[in-house]
C-alpha cells in the first residue's frame, strides 16, 4: 500500500510523466556527456543540486568500463582525491548494507562511523552537500554501482523524492551501460603517451611537478608539459578534471589511487 500511495504522489506531482520523458530522452543519448546533461536537468527539476553515478572506478585494475558521471563541486572532488577520502567513505560503506539505499541521516542505522568518517561527512557539508540519498545498483558478478543525489539544505527528502531517485538512477545506469557496451565505447578514449599516463598517475596521488620529476627522472618543465599537454587534449581546465577523465577512459592505474 505504501508503494501505491507513493506512486500516486508521483502522479499527482506530475513526476511520472517527467521521468517517462527522461527515460525516452536517455534512450536517444549517444554520449555520456549527453546523459550527464539530462541527469543534471532532471535532478535540479526535482529540487536537488548534485548527483553522482559511479561504477567500477574503485577497482584495483585499469578498466575501460569505468563509469564516473558527477556534478559534485570541483573543490570537493579535489579534496576527495588528494586526501584519499574515498577509502573510508561512510555513505558507500553504509549503502552496501542496504537493499534500496539510504538517506544520509540514516548512516548511523547501518554502521558506526569512526572519527574520520564523521569528519568526511562534515567536510562534505562544508562544500555544500548537506543532505542526500545514495542507492546501490546491483548486478551479478560485478561490484555495486552507486547513484547519489544531494542538496545544499537539510530539507526532508520525501518518499516521492526517494522513488524518483531510484527510477532516475536505474534508467541512467541502464543507458550508461549501453553506451559503455562490450563492442564499442560511446566516448572514444583520448590517446595519451605512456609518459603522460605515468605523470597523471602521480598527479592523482597529489604529487607536484617537481616530485613527479624526481620519481620519473625528468625535469620539472618536462613533467609540466606532459601533464598540460594531456589537459589540453581533454579540453579541461583543472588537473582534477584531467584525472577524472583519465579514470573514465581507463588510462589510470587505479592501484595508484589506493
Tell me the whole-structure pTM to 2 decimals. Answer: 0.69
Query: Could you tell me the residue ranges of all domains in the chain?
Result: 2-179, 194-257
What string of H, E and C letters represents the secondary structure of the chain?
A: CHHHHHHHHHHHCCHHHHHHHHHHHHHHCCCHHHHHHHHHHHHHHCCCCEEEEEECCCCCCCCCCCEEEECCCHHHHHHHHHCCHHHHCHHHHHHCCCCCCEEHHHHHHCCCCCHHHHHHHHHHHHCCCCEEEEEEECCCCCCCEEEEEEECCCCCCCHHHHHHHHHHHHHHHHHHHHHCCCCCCCCCCCCCCHHHHHHHHHHHCCCCHHHHHHHHCCCHHHHHHHHHHHHHHHCCCCHHHHHHHHHHCCCCCHHHHC
Tell me whether the CATH fold assigned to 2-179 matches the one assigned to 194-257.
Answer: no
CATH number of 194-257: 1.10.10.10
Q: What is the pLDDT along the chain (258 residues), one digit of tens a residue?
A: 444 454 455 555 578 889 999 999 999 999 989 999 999 999 999 999 999 998 876 433 444 567 889 999 988 888 887 777 777 899 989 998 998 899 999 999 999 999 999 999 999 999 999 999 999 998 777 778 899 999 998 888 998 999 999 999 999 999 998 888 754 444 556 788 889 989 988 888 888 999 999 999 999 999 999 999 998 888 888 888 888 888 877 787 554 454
- Does 3.30.450.80 match the CATH number of domain 2-179? yes
Amino acid at each position: 500500500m505504501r508503494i501505491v500511495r507513493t506512486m500516486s504522489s508521483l502522479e499527482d506531482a506530475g513526476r511520472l510523466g517527467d521521468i517517462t520523458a527522461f527515460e525516452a530522452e536517455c534512450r536517444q543519448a549517444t554520449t555520456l556527456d549527453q546523459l550527464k546533461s539530462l541527469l543534471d536537468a532532471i535532478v535540479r527539476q526535482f529540487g536537488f543540486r548534485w548527483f553522482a553515478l559511479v561504477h567500477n572506478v574503485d577497482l584495483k585494475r585499469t578498466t575501460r568500463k569505468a563509469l564516473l558521471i558527477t556534478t559534485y563541486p570541483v573543490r570537493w572532488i579535489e579534496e576527495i582525491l588528494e586526501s584519499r577520502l574515498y577509502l573510508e567513505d561512510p555513505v558507500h560503506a553504509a549503502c552496501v548494507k542496504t537493499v534500496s539505499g539510504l538517506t544520509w541521516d540514516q548512516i548511523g542505522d547501518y554502521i558506526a562511523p569512526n572519527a574520520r568518517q564523521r569528519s568526511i561527512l562534515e567536510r562534505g557539508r562544508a562544500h555544500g552537500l548537506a543532505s542526500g540519498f545514495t542507492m546501490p545498483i546491483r548486478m551479478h558478478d560485478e561490484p555495486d554501482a552507486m547513484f547519489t543525489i544531494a542538496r545544499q539544505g537539510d530539507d526532508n527528502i520525501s518518499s516521492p523524492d526517494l522513488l524518483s531517485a531510484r527510477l532516475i538512477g536505474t534508467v541512467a545506469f541502464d543507458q550508461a551501460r549501453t553506451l559503455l557496451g562490450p563492442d564499442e565505447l560511446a566516448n572514444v578514449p583520448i590517446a595519451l603517451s605512456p609518459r603522460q599516463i605515468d605523470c597523471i598517475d602521480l598527479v592523482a596521488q597529489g604529487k607536484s611537478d617537481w616530485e613527479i620529476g624526481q620519481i620519473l627522472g625528468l625535469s620539472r618543465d618536462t613533467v609540466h608539459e606532459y601533464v598540460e599537454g594531456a589537459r589540453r587534449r581533454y579540453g579541461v581546465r583543472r588537473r582534477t578534471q584531467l584525472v577524472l577523465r583519465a579514470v573514465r577512459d581507463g588510462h589510470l592505474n587505479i592501484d595508484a589511487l589506493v
